[in-house]
Amino acid sequence: MRHILAVLVQNQPGVLTRVSGLFSRRGYNIDSLAVGQTDDPEVSRMTIVVDGDNRVIEQVVKQLDKLVDVIDVRDITDDEHVDRELVLIKVKAEPEIRGEIMQIVDIFRARIVDIGQNSLIIECTGDEGKIRAIENSLKPFGIQELVRTGMIAMVRGPKYEED
Task: Check: CB of residue 15 under 8 Å from CB of residue 48.
Answer: no
pTM for this model (two decimals): 0.85
**Structural domains in the chain, sorted by start:** 2-75 (3.30.70.260), 83-152 (3.30.70.1150)
Residue range 17-75, pLDDT digits in tens: 999 988 888 888 899 999 999 999 999 999 999 988 888 888 889 989 998 899 999 99
The rounded distance, in Å, linking the Cα atoms of 56 and 44 is 25
Q: Give one DSSP letter per residue of 21-51, joined into a string.
A: HHHHHTTPPEEEEEEEE-SSTTEEEEEEEEE
